[in-house]
Amino acid sequence: MNEDMTPFGLSLFLDEASRRGGVDFHLHSCFSDGAQTAEELVRSVLENGLQAFSLTDHDNIDGVPYVRKALSRLNAKSDIRFIPGVEMSARFEGREVHILGYFTEDQPLILKRYLARQVRERQQRNEAMIKRLNELGYDVRYEDLSRYGGEKTLPGRVHMALWLVEHGAFSSITEAFQKLLGEGRPAFVYRERHSAKEVIRVITASNGVSVLAHPQEYGWCDHERLSKEDVEQTLMARFLTLKKAGIHGLECDHGGASPQERLLMRKLCEKLSLICTAGSDSHGRDDQHAPMYRGSWYKNGPS
């Protein structure tokens, strides 16, 4: 396969491959809050018949070389394209959004330096949330979180939720977030969010392609408050602001988006000359996230 290893070539590939289907450009492993090891994730990719995929752990690219090794070891034909990626938190219009970065190299130096700062901030936030959980009567310790991942896992709120489920306080990860760990809940602690413009700039400086993750999840498609026309107009304004900041595209075909939301995002991408990407956001476990896409039923794109 002839691959254009420039950011422009990568953006074209992400868009064209997502429109064809049979790909999944939003996957998590145990290096962040996913359940699968790199090898387990690659095995799932092969079993599902995907033609291309990306690992997009939160604020973390440590799993990328492990996926490379597993793919080389398990995929004899070597015909699956792997795109190194990351999912980064950012601040936009006063709220948290997530931005996906896709790269032409596995370990961009500028990105690694930025992520090292993010890790320190995440650790400080984790410690503050553990303190709140203790004050609320939950006897969890920071070191307990390491039980829910591998040696190199970067702990976070999902791991706290897993501890709460195991110790009987809640029936599911979703319930733990809704009642205790989600934004505005008793154990939630804010951490500094860099602006979307800054995160996009880091991705661009790392020869990457930036994509707004799951745009339907930020409350911007609320038809109960706004008419269809108003939703479209406000989305256009938001996405235009992000385009001016340098973003390349939207995750139109996210695993949690409805068919109507997917069509709307594609329509807006065409109007704004942005790329569309497809990603399930699979975390490798039965929870609120969609399962990994399959090459068969996703072959012609989602309906």
Residues of the chain with pLDDT under 70: 1-4, 76-77, 150-152, 223-224, 297-303
pLDDT at site 181: 92
Question: In degrees, to the nearest 5, what angle opens at C-alpha 86 toward C-alphas 80 and 92?
Answer: 140
Q: Is residue 53 classed as helix, strand or coil in its secondary structure?
A: strand
Pick left, alpha or beta for residue 53 (phi over 0 → left; psi -120 to 50 → alpha; otherwise beta): beta
pLDDT at site 148: 77
pLDDT at site 123: 85
Q: Which CATH number fits domain 119-181: 3.40.30.10, 2.60.120.380, 1.10.150.650, 3.40.630.30?
A: 1.10.150.650
Give, as one character, the DSSP assignment of residue 79: -
**For residue 158, what are its two tokens?**
């999902």
Rounded to an integer, what is the distance from CA 74 to the centroid of its chain? Answer: 25
pLDDT at site 1: 42
Domain boundaries, the chain: 7-116+194-279, 119-181
Q: Mind spelling out the 3-state secondary structure of the chain?
A: CCCCCCHHHHHHHHHHHHHHCCEEEEECCCCCCCCCCHHHHHHHHHHHCCCEEEECCECCCCCHHHHHHHHHHHCCCCCCEEEEEEEEEEEECCEEEEEEEEECCCCCHHHHHHHHHHHHHHHHHHHHHHHHHHHCCCCCCHHHHHHHCCCCCCCCHHHHHHHHHHCCCCCCHHHHHHHHHCCCCCCCCCCCCCEHHHHHHHHHHCCEEEEECCHHHHCCCCCCCCCHHHHHHHHHHHHHHHHHCCCCEEEEEECCCCHHHHHHHHHHHHHHCCEEEEECCECCCCCCCCCCCCCCCCCCCCC
Q: How far is it between the farthest Cα atoms of the chain?
A: 57
Given CATH 3.40.50.720, say whether it is the number of domain 7-116+194-279: no
What pTM, to 2 d.p., does this model score?
Answer: 0.84
Asked whether this chain's domains 7-116+194-279 and 119-181 adopt the same fold, the reply is no
